[in-house]
Structure 1
Amino acid sequence: MAELRNVQSQAGYGARTYDASIDQGLRAYMVRVYNLMALALGITALFAAGTVLLATTNNPAAAAASLPNGTMLTGLGTVIYGSPLRWVFFLAPLAIVFFMSFRIDRIQPGTAQMAFWAFAALLGISLSSIFLVYTSASIVQTFFITATAFGALSLYGYTTKRDLTAMGSFLFIGLVGLILVMIVNLFLASPALQFAISAIGVLIFAGLTAYDTQKIKEMYYEGDGTAVAEKKAIMGALALYLDFINMFQFLLYFLGQRE
Structure 2
Amino acid sequence: MNLGDDHQTRTRLPDGGGDVYGGARRAGRSSSRSLVTVVGVVVLLIAAIAFANRGGDDSSSASEAGDKPKTSSTAPTGKHPVQSGFAHDEQGAQSAAANYAVPLGSDGMFDKTRRHEIVNAVYAPEVASSRQAALDGAYSNEEFLANIGLDKNGRAPKGQTFVSRVIPVGTKLTASSANSATVEVWYTSLFGLSGGDSTNPVTESWYTTTYQLTWSNNDWKVTDFQQKDGPVPVGRDQKASTADDMTKAIEEYGGFTYAR
Q: Same fold (TM over 0.5)?
A: no
**Computing the radius of gyration over CA atoms, which structure comes out larger, 1 or 2?**
1
Give 1 or 2: higher strand fraction. 2
TM-score if structure 1 supplies the norm length? 0.29
Q: Bigger relative contact order, structure 1 or 2, given CA contacts below 8 A and separation 6+?
A: 1
TM-score if structure 2 supplies the norm length? 0.29
Give 1 or 2: higher helix fraction. 1
